[in-house]
Amino acid sequence: DVKVTQSSRYLVKRTGEKVFLECVQDMDHENMFWYRQDPGLGLRLIYFSYDVKMKEKGDIPEGYSVSREKKERFSLILESASTNQTSMYLCASSLFGTTTNEKLFFGSGTQLSVL
């Protein structure tokens, strides 16, 4: 089965710190995604990527950047963490180009607290 692994389950950072959230998938998926989940707001798309070195902005990219140097790894970067970035961050991956198998596989999430 597909495994999407997020490097940390819980993370506590200070305001202004640069924060890296790492995500690795083991099924050679082309597409990878970063969402944040907040109560009452559901999942909101931050960035996604179709392929190595390719990225597209989602609905709330401000304050975030991403890196995809290898196909299996998609990193989310908070350049200068702020308290309003305290949230649950979910990484997901999916295959490209086939609707038969189209679905997202999610990691377990990283609960980030910015103090």
Partner 1 sequence: AQSVAQPEDQVNVAEGNPLTVKCTYSVSGNPYLFWYVQYPNRGLQFLLKYITGDNLVKGSYGFEAEFNKSQTSFHLKKPSALVSDSALYFCAVRDRGSGTYKYIFGTGTRLKVLA
User: According to the binding rule CB under 8 A, does residue 94 interact with partner 1?
Assistant: yes
Between the alpha carbon of residue 24 and those of residues 18, 68, 69, 91, 98, the distances in Å are 20, 10, 12, 9, 21
Of 17 and 56, nearer to partner 1 (C-beta) is 56
Using CB under 8 A as the binding rule, whether residue 109 contacts partner 1 is answered as yes
- Write down the residue that tokens 């999430």 correspond to: 109
| Contacts of range 65-71, beta carbons closer than 8 Å, 24 or more positions apart | 66/34, 68/32, 71/28, 71/29, 71/30
Under the criterion CB under 8 A, does residue 96 sit at the interface with partner 1?
yes
The mark string for 28-67 relative to partner 1 (x by CB under 8 A, - otherwise) is: ---x-x-x----xxxxxx--x-x-----x-xx--------
Q: Per CB under 8 A, does 21 bind partner 1? A: no
Does residue 84 sit in helix, strand or coil? helix
Is residue 73 near partner 1 by the rule CB under 8 A?
Answer: no
Task: State which residue, 59 or 69, has the beta carbon closest to partner 1.
Answer: 59
Do the Cβ atoms of 53 and 75 come closer than 8 Å?
Answer: no
Q: Which residues bind partner 1 (CB under 8 A)?
A: 4, 31, 33, 35, 40-45, 48, 50, 56, 58-59, 90, 92, 94, 96, 99-100, 102-109
